[in-house]
Every structure is written in structure tokens, then in C-alpha cells.
């Protein structure tokens, strides 16, 4: 955490989105977020002027097995405890993919029931549940359909326009039009298409329509975080975070803040 905090502060960020720390995504297992060290972690964030924008889980609620879905809910609930301690407004969850032998309608129902159950547990802590546009429900319309089944103000969306653009070709304006005020958090990264699919690149060096993002979010009057996502864990060939993180801050300001 000290390295993460220092890099974010030095790069001019307002906040940090947490997923993997020390290679662990169940953050409640780590000393930095334990009862004895949590106060120290909070103090370091405050001293550097940083908020925790979102606490990411890897939880998915697509399993036909109710016991497995319940286990995912319990894991997400533990992560919501971390979020509450850090003052984070939400936790990220996935839907995610239709499993063998299942269908879309049943999977949508399982996801909706699970995140509604989870939101009932997290709402008293002041923590919302944010469903990422991802997997077989990546399109904005698919994600919005899950939210309609949940019908809870404590449930929102982590909108990842790159996921939707790459998977379905969905224009950014269509995504914001369909999801509207349900968008509570935004992921961004740059990419270029290649023979193997998609290759992630430094901000401004790819095909992502940054000006379209700026226009769509301003029309929405979005006032939350725009979070730079750098997936080096899954793509080790990418530049180090010490290069990519400050680079994004400089490039994004040119397009979004000044554009």
C-alpha cells in the first residue's frame, strides 16, 4: 500500500481503485486492512489527499449452483467491510458468463437475485454494489436489464466502455444513454486491434475514442471517478505501472479536463 499510495499521489490522482495488493484480491486477508493496521492505512490515504474510489471484488454470480453463489456473496460481503472501513462508496462485482447447461434468462435471474441479496447486506454500511459491464452481459442494455430486476438504489454500474466497444461495437453515447444515472464508476484504458484480438497500449496511442468519452460523460453530468485500468497482471508485456499511471494522468487531462 505505501508504494501504491505514493505512486498515485506523485502522479496527481484524486483516488485509488483497489483490486490486487501484494498479489491478493481478497483484501481482507492482508495486514494493511486488518483491525490493527487499518487506521494506519486510512491515515496514509488522508495525508496524501487520496480517496478509495472503489474496492474491487472478483465475485461472479453466474453459477447454477446456489451454494456457490452464496459463497460469492459472502466473499463480497467481507470485501464490503474493507470498503466501509476505507470510506469507499462501492464494491465492484461481475455478472458474468452463461455457464454450460444454463441460459441467458436463468443466468440473469441468478445474478439479479445475488446482487440484490448482497446490496441488502452492504447498504447499512453505506456501501453500494456496482455491477461491471463484463462477460456475456457486457452490453449496456444487458446490464440495464439486470438492474431492472434488482430494483435497488444501492445497486449501480461500473461502466467499462472498452469492454463493450471491443465485444459488441457499442458506441459510447449509446452506453451512457442506456445506463444513465446508474453509472457510478467508470473504467478506461486504451487499445488497438491486432491479429490476436486486442492489445492494450499507453493512453493516446490506441483506438479508444477519448473525445467521445468526454462528450458522453459531460452530457450525463457524471461527477464520479474515471479510473485508469492497467492490466499488467494478465498482460506482462505491458509497460510498468510507474510509466503507465503518470502517463495516463497527463494524457487524460489534455482530452477530458481541457478538451
Instruction: Give φ, ψ of 62 to 5 degrees.
Output: -95, -5
CA atoms within 13 A on the CB side of 143: 32
Is pLDDT above 80 for 107?
yes
What is the residue whose three cell numbers read 508504494?
A: 3
pLDDT in tens, 227-259: 999 999 999 999 999 999 999 999 988 776 555
pTM: predicted TM-score of the whole model, two decimal places: 0.96
What is the residue whose three cell numbers read 453463489?
A: 69
CATH number of 2-188: 3.20.20.150
pLDDT in tens, 8-21: 999 999 999 999 99
* Rounded CA Rg of the chain: 18
Amino acid at each position: 500500500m505505501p508504494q501504491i499510495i505514493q505512486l498515485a499521489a506523485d502522479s496527481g490522482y484524486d483516488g485509488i481503485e483497489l483490486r490486487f495488493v501484494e498479489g491478493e484480491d481478497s483484501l481482507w486477508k492482508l495486514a494493511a486492512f486488518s483491525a490493527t493496521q487499518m487506521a494506519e492505512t486510512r491515515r496514509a490515504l488522508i495525508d496524501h489527499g487520496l480517496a478509495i474510489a472503489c474496492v474491487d471484488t472478483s465475485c461472479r454470480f453466474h453459477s447454477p449452483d446456489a451454494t456457490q453463489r452464496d459463497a460469492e456473496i459472502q466473499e463480497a460481503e467481507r470485501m464490503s467491510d474493507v470498503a466501509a472501513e476505507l470510506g469507499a462508496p462501492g464494491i465492484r462485482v461481475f455478472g458474468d458468463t452463461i455457464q454450460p447447461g444454463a441460459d441467458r434468462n436463468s443466468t440473469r435471474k441468478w445474478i439479479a437475485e445475488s446482487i440484490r441479496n448482497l446490496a441488502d447486506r452492504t447498504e447499512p454500511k453505506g456501501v453500494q454494489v456496482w455491477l461491471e459491464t463484463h462477460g456475456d452481459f457486457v452490453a449496456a442494455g444487458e446490464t440495464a436489464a439486470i438492474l431492472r430486476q434488482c430494483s435497488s438504489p444501492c445497486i449501480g454500474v461500473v461502466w467499462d466502455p472498452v469492454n463493450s466497444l471491443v465485444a459488441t461495437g457499442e458506441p459510447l453515447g449509446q452506453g451512457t444513454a442506456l445506463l444513465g444515472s446508474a453509472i457510478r464508476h467508470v473504467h478506461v484504458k486504451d487499445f488497438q486491434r491486432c491479429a490476436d484480438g486486442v492489445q492494450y497500449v499507453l493512453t493516446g496511442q490506441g483506438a479508444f475514442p477519448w473525445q467521445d468519452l468526454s462528450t458522453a460523460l459531460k452530457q450525463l453530468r457524471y461527477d464520479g471517478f474515471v479510473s485508469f485500468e492497467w492490466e499488467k497482471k494478465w498482460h506482462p508485456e505491458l509497460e510498468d505501472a510507474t510509466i503507465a499511471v503518470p502517463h495516463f494522468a497527463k494524457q487524460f487531462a489534455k482530452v477530458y479536463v481541457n478538451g
